[in-house]
């Protein structure tokens, strides 16, 4: 039997803990720092996800058999490198391999070198040169900060004024820190998320999912951390999927091996189906949030076996996935992604018959309270997306709070 530590504390980590709790090989789960929902399935450990020394010391003291890393912040400060140096099995990429997410310029260079299809681009560190380039170019212009920016480092500028403001913000004011910008061609088409477990050149695909980033129905309003997700995707053909697996995910994994920084963990392709074919919008070096919450419930192979073999560099038998659909709807605090209040009572969550993954909640005197922008994600399965959609929107009526809202159209791309 095995003791597992999960690093992180959001809905994604709740889904990881929930998956591991189904494994007959797992006796105890710890989560650092976790959240109020995760506390029902794991022992919470009060250590920050980027406190490498603290996490390492805890894993040694508790003789943890496997650590699973959720957030990119933990990967990019080198938690995997430190655990590996101490001989502790850990699921996640090294700091060098995490550059596939933490540097847009590095990711673009890898794609160019290994023929992975993506938007054309130039990178700049000089404001005047970047400004001259966008003045010559077409609109909308896509301007991306090179480094990690918590999902806020991309500006789609429709005018020269907007482009100049974005460049000023990123290069002169260094709002996200010192760093370059990548300016790339604007692409159009539906976006989708293709995640794989990766161990060097070996790639094991997960079902496709789609995130809904805008706050309000009809894909309107400001960008958020994700208001819902679903799987599978009827608008992506098997040929598209095969192409993406071979020419995007496998080609990138093999490229990273050739570069001397092999991947080991999850490679997330944020892809777009354009009229010219599949293109990469971004790579992430970890499970997507909220996609993971709708995908891991369908995992039909022992989750511990999957994480542990990837962590140890051992080949896996084919991973089995239940052939069902899931739809997940995020309940968010009124005002999110702007300012919002915390501490509002949530009632009825126990009556919801699907899975609930907590994102920002707090338990106080036995009462469940809101404690973040995105508060919880409600997930139901069905034989197809329409059935899962009907199920989740029926069941979500049971949950009550005077300060929560949710989108009524998650999965509309698959149903309309």
User: By the criterion CB under 6 A, which residues form the site for ligand GLY?
Assistant: 211, 226, 284, 288-289, 291
Q: Which of residues 118-147 bind ligand AMP (CB under 6 A)?
A: 119, 142, 144
Closest CA to 109 of 121, 97, 94, 124: 121
Q: 39 with 64: CB under 8 angstroms?
A: no
What is the CA 51 to chain-centroid distance, rounded?
Answer: 21
Instruction: Copy the structure tokens of residue 47.
Output: 């250590």
For 29-47, the DSSP string reads EEEEE--TTGGGTSEE---
Max Cα separation, the chain? Answer: 62
Min dist. Cβ of residue 104 to ligand AMP (A): 7
Closest CA to 209 of 188, 226, 187, 186: 226
356 binds, among ligand GLY, ligand AMP, none (CB under 5 to 8 A by kind): none
Min dist. Cβ of residue 105 to ligand AMP (A): 13
- Of 26 and 327, nearer to ligand GLY (C-beta) is 327
Min dist. Cβ of residue 76 to ligand GLY (A): 14
How far apart CA 355 and CA 369 sit, in angstroms, is 18
Q: E-assigned strands of 275-354?
A: 277-284, 325-333
> Strands 26-33 and 2-8, how do they pair?
parallel
Min dist. Cβ of residue 233 to ligand AMP (A): 15
- Length of the chain, in residues: 416
Q: 345 with 367: CB under 8 angstroms?
A: yes
- Of 13 and 184, nearer to ligand AMP (C-beta) is 184
Q: Which of residues 377-416 bind ligand AMP (CB under 6 A)?
A: none
211 binds, among ligand AMP, ligand GLY, none (CB under 5 to 8 A by kind): ligand GLY
Min dist. Cβ of residue 17 to ligand GLY (A): 17
296 binds, among ligand GLY, ligand AMP, none (CB under 5 to 8 A by kind): none
- Of 280 and 329, nearer to ligand AMP (C-beta) is 280
Establish if 154 lies at the interface with ligand AMP (CB under 6 A). Answer: yes
- Of 18 and 291, nearer to ligand GLY (C-beta) is 291
409 binds, among ligand AMP, ligand GLY, none (CB under 5 to 8 A by kind): none
How far apart CA 197 and CA 200 sit, in angstroms, is 10
Distances (CA, A) of 157 to 129, 162, 163: 17, 5, 5
DSSP state of 241: H
Q: Which of residues 162-201 bind ligand AMP (CB under 6 A)?
A: 184-187, 191
Instruction: Copy the structure tokens of residue 4.
Output: 């597992």
- Of 78 and 270, nearer to ligand GLY (C-beta) is 270
Residue whose CB is nearest to ligand AMP in the complex, by number = 282
215 binds, among ligand AMP, ligand GLY, none (CB under 5 to 8 A by kind): none
- Of 151 and 200, nearer to ligand GLY (C-beta) is 151
Min dist. Cβ of residue 149 to ligand GLY (A): 11
Interface with ligand AMP (CB under 6 A), residue from 259, 270, 316, 390: 270
109 binds, among ligand AMP, ligand GLY, none (CB under 5 to 8 A by kind): none
Closest CA to 376 of 401, 394, 413: 401
CB atoms within 10 A of CB 410: 29
């Amino acid at each position: 039997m095995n003791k597992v530590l999960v690093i992180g504390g959001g809905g994604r980590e709740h889904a990881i803990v929930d998956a591991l709790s189904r494994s007959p090989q797992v006796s105890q789960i710890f989560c650092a720092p976790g959240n109020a929902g995760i506390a029902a399935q794991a022992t919470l450990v009060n250590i920050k996800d980027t406190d490498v020394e603290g996490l390492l010391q805890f894993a040694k003291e508790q003789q943890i058999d496997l650590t699973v890393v959720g957030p990119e912040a933990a990967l990019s400060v080198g938690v995997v490198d430190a655990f590996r140096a101490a001989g502790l099995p850990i699921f996640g990429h090294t700091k060098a391999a995490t550059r596939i997410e933490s540097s847009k310029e590095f990711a673009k260079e890898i794609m160019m070198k290994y023929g992975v299809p993506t938007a054309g681009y130039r990178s700049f560190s000089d404001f005047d040169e970047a400004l001259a380039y966008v003045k010559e170019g077409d609109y909308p212009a896509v301007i991306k900060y090179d480094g990690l920016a918590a999902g806020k480092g991309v500006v789609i500028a429709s005018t020269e004024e907007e482009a100049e403001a974005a460049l000023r913000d990123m290069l002169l004011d260094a709002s996200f820190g010192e760093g370059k910008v990548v300016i790339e061609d604007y692409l159009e088409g539906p976006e989708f998320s293709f995640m794989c477990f990766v161990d060097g050149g070996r790639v094991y695909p997960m079902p496709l999912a789609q995130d809904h980033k805008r706050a309000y129905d009809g894909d309107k309003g400001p960008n958020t951390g994700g208001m819902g997700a679903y799987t599978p995707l009827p608008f992506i053909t098997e040929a598209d999927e095969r192409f993406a697996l071979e020419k995007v995910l496998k080609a990138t994994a093999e490229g990273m091996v050739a570069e001397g920084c092999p991947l080991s963990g999850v490679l997330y392709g944020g892809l777009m189906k354009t009229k010219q074919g599949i293109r990469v919008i971004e790579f992430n070096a970890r499970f997507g949030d909220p996609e993971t919450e709708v995908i891991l419930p369908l995992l039909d192979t022992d989750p511990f076996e999957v994480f542990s073999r990837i962590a140890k560099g051992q080949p896996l038998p084919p991973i089995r996935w239940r052939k069902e659909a899931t739809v997940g709807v995020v309940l968010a605090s009124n005002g999110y992604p702007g300012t919002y209040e915390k501490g509002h009572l949530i009632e009825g969550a126990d009556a919801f018959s699907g899975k609930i993954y907590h994102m920002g909640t707090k338990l106080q005197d036995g009462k469940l309270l809101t404690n973040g922008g995105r508060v919880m994600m409600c997930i139901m399965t069905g034989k197809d997306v329409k059935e899962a959609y009907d199920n989740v929107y029926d069941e979500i009526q049971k949950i009550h709070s005077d300060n929560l809202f949710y989108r009524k159209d998650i999965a509309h791309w698959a149903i309309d």
